[in-house]
């Protein structure tokens, strides 16, 4: 590993992220490396873009009685590797060497259990809503950094790996912007058809 990559990553922790460790993780299956980036959107309560509710959820500290919506998710234990706020601030909850609990029942290109081989990135936002330029800037640099350390061969939305069950990040997420910023081939992104 080069010194530049070594400087960016330490045991799966990205040096430019604010760390808040989640207990909701486990080991990846033996011999499995992260090859997929999964993009999600989240806000708690839905549509509210302030406060620390997402951080509290991912660390099992959420006050379930703080808002009526929280009763719908009471007791869930979830996490993501990363969370990008509306202002572009970046948080990390789980080492990318480990398996975060973000995808649920899922499949990508015929391979089930996406948590086993993916890195989950949550964008603060409402599913189907728009995202901020600051978030794209952070996401672009984060995805590029992840690819220096892990053999990433695809990026997908939660909606693509759990169709019918999830709709995030949704129709207003700009996949073309992400592809253009990264300069990765079209076949790594949703919507690419084999042979096209």
* Catalytic residue of the set 77, 122, 127, 132: 122
**9: number of Cβ within 10 Å:** 19
DSSP-assigned letters across all residues of 36-78: EEEEEEE-SSTT---SSHHHHHHTT---TTSSGGGGGGTT---
> What is the dihedral sign for C-alpha 136, 123, 165, 46?
negative
Q: For residue 48, what are the contacts with CB-CB under 8 A and spacing of at least 6?
A: none
Residue showing tokens 């220096």 = 148
- Per the annotation, the verdict on 122 as an active-site residue is yes
Catalytically active residues, by annotation: 122
């Amino acid at each position: 590993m080069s010194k530049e990559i070594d400087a960016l990553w330490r045991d799966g922790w990205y040096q430019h992220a604010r760390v808040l460790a989640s207990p909701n993780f486990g080991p990846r299956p033996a011999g499995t490396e992260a090859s997929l980036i999964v993009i999600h959107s989240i806000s708690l309560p839905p549509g509210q873009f302030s406060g620390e509710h997402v951080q509290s959820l991912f660390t099992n500290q959420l006050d379930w009685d703080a808002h009526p919506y929280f009763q719908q998710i009471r007791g869930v234990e979830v996490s993501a590797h990363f969370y990008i706020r509306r202002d572009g601030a970046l948080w990390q909850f789980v080492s990318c060497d480990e398996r975060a609990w973000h995808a649920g029942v899922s499949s990508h290109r015929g391979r089930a259990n996406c948590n086993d081989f993916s890195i989950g990135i949550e964008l603060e936002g409402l599913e189907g809503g728009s995202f901020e330029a600051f978030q794209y800037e952070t996401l672009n640099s984060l995805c590029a950094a992840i690819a220096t350390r892990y053999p990433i061969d695809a990026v997908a939305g939660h909606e693509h790996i759990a169709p019918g069950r999830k709709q995030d990040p949704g129709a207003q997420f700009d996949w073309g912007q992400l592809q253009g910023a990264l300069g990765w081939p079209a076949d790594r992104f949703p919507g690419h058809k084999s042979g096209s």
